[in-house]
């Protein structure tokens, strides 16, 4: 994974990267997306990841002077356009069969702090390099 910032470089650890594409389907409003990577410093807008065995995986950050290429701090997504986000987590354990990614709606202009989009996907869909 490529890092930007003072040091640049690449991570030497095996990590799980989740790439997301957000498309604004509305034709009358832009979408103010503040990101799910935790780069904004708010725990209320950061994504979380757990598995079907109730293991919780830490979001990975690389300090204040480096950021992951492709991670979003904030962006405006206009009607009909798309934006991207890249999330980095610890690698799931081998026995996990399903991962559940929770994405707070506050990051996309949602209202309630407790409101989230939950996306479940099988670990068999993880591409390993």
pLDDT of the chain, 129 residues: tens digit per residue? 444 444 555 655 789 999 999 999 999 999 888 888 876 556 778 899 999 999 999 988 765 555 666 666 788 999 999 989 889 999 999 999 999 999 998 888 766 777 888 999 999 988 876
Residue holding tokens 């997306």? 33
pLDDT value, residue 106: 84
Q: What angle do CA 11, 42, 55 make, to 5 degrees?
A: 60
Picking from 72, 98, 87, 82, the residue whose alpha carbon sits closest to that of residue 18 is 87
Looking at the domain covering 3-125, what would its CATH class be? mainly beta
Q: What pLDDT score was predicted for residue 66?
A: 56
pTM, rounded to two decimals: 0.80
């Amino acid at each position: 994974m490529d890092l930007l910032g003072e040091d640049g470089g690449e991570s030497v650890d095996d990590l799980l990267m989740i790439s997301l594409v957000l498309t604004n389907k509305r034709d009358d409003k832009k979408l103010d997306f503040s990101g799910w990577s935790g780069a904004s410093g708010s725990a209320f807008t950061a994504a979380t990841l757990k598995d079907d065995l109730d293991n919780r995986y830490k979001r990975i950050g690389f300090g204040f002077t480096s950021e992951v290429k492709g991670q979003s701090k904030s962006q405006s997504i206009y009607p009909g356009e798309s934006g991207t986000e890249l999330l980095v987590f610890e690698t799931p354990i081998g026995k996990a069969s399903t991962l559940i990614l929770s994405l707070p709606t506050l990051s996309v202009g949602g209202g309630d702090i407790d409101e989230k989009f939950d996306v479940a996907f099988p670990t068999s869909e993880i591409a390993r390099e």
